[in-house]
Structure 1
Amino acid sequence: MPQLEPLKSGYYVWHYVPSIGASVVFILLFLAVTAVHFWKIFRTKVRFTLPFAIGGLFEFIGYAARASAYEKTGRLMPYIIQSVFILIAPTLFAAAVYMVLARIIRSVRAESLSPIPIRFVTKAFVTCDVLTFFIQGGGAGLMSQGSMTNTGQYIVLAGLILQIATFVLFLTTATVFKLRMDRQTTIATMHSDVPWKKHLYSMYAISSMILLRSIFRVIEYGLGNDGYLLSNEWPTYILDALPMFLAMVCFAVWYPSELEPYLPKGNTLPIETIEQKV
């Protein structure tokens, strides 16, 4: 039975010997669902979903590194790889989700119903997502250095809080758009079979899982290096690995390849709306 070992400096980067069984289960799960995502990209030629597939690859790499740490808790590299890749993978999921909303709005030609100008929807949210990507990645790297652990945790915490704030604004934008669409309909929805509501609800579900995971991480790092969540392994699998796997499954099942921009032949005019009769 492997024993928990410190680094050569005497600092313990792990609080427990990571479970190889749980790691292998999620290695196989993420490998399978990531393969499905890459296959769908190849088959449908929908490129904006690529960040989701890459995020799945990051999850796979992260849990593979976690499994390799089972007998190597005294080595730094497996810890760094699993910490960084598992932490930043959801930011890639978020990037794809942000682009889905813009595609939904354009596919039904409802640009005027978006509370944020459509040209800024993807740019604003993805820019915030890129910032959280680098903030969390940098913080995770610092956490592996004993003298910088607390600083790294604060940096990761800042990145996670920014991610949550961005998601709250994003979900607010999506909800306002949905409420406006409920009150009005567009020419595109009358002449198109695009199942925009299905993809909107799928986006809500995926966003909720990413948000849940981010809140868990904020609490985890907020409790500190000696807190219960960082000192025990099961919360990582229940509140991070499982929600992210389910998010990937949802995205694969309700794949947004149908969200092609709707443009009536010869019509490049701004959107027209018709008041929905009750």
Structure 2
Amino acid sequence: MPKLEPLKSGYYVWHYVPSVAASVVFILLFLAVTAIHFWKIFRTKVRFTLPFAIGGLFELIGYAARAGAYDKTGRLMPYIIQSVFILIAPTLFAAAVYMVLARIIRSVKAEHLSPIPIRFVTKTFVTCDILTFFIQGGGAGLMSQSSLTSTGQYIVLAGLILQIATFVLFLTTATVFKLRMDRHPTITTMNSEVPWVKHLYSMYAISALILLRSIFRVVEYGLGNDGYLLSNEWPTYILDALPMFLAMICFAVWYPSELQPFLDKGDATPIEHVEQKV
């Protein structure tokens, strides 16, 4: 039975011996769902969903590194790989989700109902997402150094807080759009079978799962290196791995390629305008 070992410097990067069994379970789960995502990209030719599939690869690599660290807790590289890849994978999921909203709006020809000008919807949220990607990645790297652990945790916290703030703004934008659509539906929603509501609710569900995971991470790093969440393994699987797996399942089942046929068709005229003409 492997024992918990420190680095050569005497610093413990792990607070427990990582479970091989739990890692293998999620390696297999993420392998299966990631393969489905890549197959869907190949079949549908919808490229904007690629970040979601790459995020699945990151999760797969991260949990493979955790399994490999079982008898290597005194080595730095497995810890860095699992820490960085698991931490930043959800930012890739978020990037794909952000791009779905703009396509939903365009599919129902409701650009005039978007609270943010449609040309800025994707740019705004993806730019914020890229910032969180680099902030969290940089902070996770610093955490592996004993003298910079606290600094790294603060940087990761900043990235996570930015991610949460971005998601709150994103969900507010989506909700306002939905309320406006309920009051002023476009002809496209009445004369076609655009599955926009289904994909909007799927987007809500995935966003909620990523938010849950981000809040968990904020609490985890906020409690510090000796806090309960960083000192125990089960929260990582229940509050990070499981929500991200469910998010990938949701995205695979309600795949946004269904919106593609409607992006260049339809009438943007709101219903009340037609009634006035009649």
When the two structures are superposed, what TM-score results if normalisation uses the length of structure 1? 0.96
Deviations 1:171-215 (A, max 9, x none): 000000001111111122123211000000000000000000000
Tell me how far apart the structure 2 counterparts of residues 86 and 160 of structure 1 sit (CA, whole Å): 13
What percent of counterpart residues are identical?
87
Tell me how far apart the structure 1 counterparts of residues 250 and 69 of structure 2 sit (CA, whole Å): 30
User: Superposition pairs for residues 109-188 of structure 1, below 5 Å?
Assistant: 109-188=109-188
Tell me how far apart the structure 2 counterparts of residues 263 and 74 of structure 1 sit (CA, whole Å): 56
Tell me how far apart the structure 2 counterparts of residues 187 and 49 of structure 1 sit (CA, whole Å): 28
Amino acid paired to 1:158: A
Structure-1 residue corresponding to 2:81: 81
Q: Does 1:226 align with 2:223?
A: no
Tell me how far apart the structure 1 counterparts of residues 165 and 269 of structure 2 sit (CA, whole Å): 32
Structure-2 residue corresponding to 1:272: 269
User: Superposition pairs for residues 29-108 of structure 1, below 5 Å?
Assistant: 29-108=29-108
Deviations 1:116-151 (A, max 9, x none): 000000000000000000000000000001100000
**Cα distance, 1:264–1:32 mapped onto 2, change above 3 Å:** closer
Tell me how far apart the structure 2 counterparts of residues 223 and 57 of structure 1 sit (CA, whole Å): 29
The SS at the match of 2:70 is helix
How far has the Cα of 1:263 moved from its partner? 3.4
Deviations 1:87-120 (A, max 9, x none): 0000000000000000000000000110000000
Amino acid paired to 1:135: I
Amino acid paired to 2:17: V
Structure 1, unaligned runs of 5 or more? none
The SS at the match of 1:272 is coil
Tell me how far apart the structure 1 counterparts of residues 12 and 152 of structure 2 sit (CA, whole Å): 15
Tell me how far apart the structure 2 counterparts of residues 174 and 66 of structure 1 sit (CA, whole Å): 36
Q: Does 1:245 align with 2:242?
A: no
Tell me how far apart the structure 1 counterparts of residues 227 and 245 of structure 2 sit (CA, whole Å): 25
How far has the Cα of 1:258 moved from its partner? 1.1
Structure 2, unaligned runs of 5 or more? none
Tell me how far apart the structure 1 counterparts of residues 181 and 123 of structure 2 sit (CA, whole Å): 22
Tell me how far apart the structure 1 counterparts of residues 155 and 265 of structure 2 sit (CA, whole Å): 48
Amino acid paired to 1:263: D
| Contact 2:103-2:263 within 8 A present in 1 as well | no
When the two structures are superposed, what TM-score results if normalisation uses the length of structure 2? 0.96
Q: Does 1:263 align with 2:260?
A: no
Tell me how far apart the structure 2 counterparts of residues 192 and 65 of structure 1 sit (CA, whole Å): 48
Tell me how far apart the structure 2 counterparts of residues 3 and 116 of structure 1 sit (CA, whole Å): 54
| Contact 1:183-1:275 within 8 A present in 2 as well | no
Amino acid paired to 1:272: T
